[in-house]
Amino acid sequence: MAKLTQEELQSIKDLQSKYNQTLFEIGVTEAQRIALKDQLEKLETSKDTLFKDLVTIEQKETELTTVLQTKYGQGTINAETGEITPAQ
């Protein structure tokens, strides 16, 4: 019966090891890709929520500006002191 040399047998084992390591790394890469995809989706959702919040804040600012202009007239408000400088 023929038998492989030690070098031939080692070559087969090395190839099997490289094959298995490559399959493992493909799995790790795919798992990382899925995790990144999930993270990106969460970031997109968070961004959408923040943009909706921004629109709400802008609406409230417009409403408050209207109320204050009705009460005090046109002017500039110092947000630190609350002083109103009338428009000229």
Kindly report, residue by residue over 34-86, the tens digit of the pLDDT: 999 999 999 999 999 999 999 999 999 999 999 999 999 999 999 899 898 99
Q: Which domain holds residue 44?
A: 17-63
Judge whether 73 lies within some domain. no
Whether 83 is covered by a domain: the verdict is: no
C-alpha 14/C-alpha 21 separation (Å) is 10
Q: Tokens 């997109």 appear where?
A: 44
Token pair for 4: 């492989």
Banded pLDDT at 88 (limits 50, 70, 90):
confident
Tell me the per-residue pLDDT of 2-29, one tens digit each, with 9 for 90 and over. 999 999 999 999 999 999 999 999 999 9
What is the Cα–Cα distance from 83 to 76, expressed in whole angstroms? 8
Give the global pTM.
Answer: 0.64
For residues 86 and 71, the answer to whether their CB atoms sit within 8 Å is no
For residue 33, is it within any domain? yes
| Strand bridging mode 84-86 / 75-77 | antiparallel
Residue 51 counted as domain residue? yes
DSSP alpha helix (H) spans, 1-88: 6-72
Q: How many domains does the chain have?
A: 1
d(Cα 77, Cα 72) in Å, to the nearest integer?
10
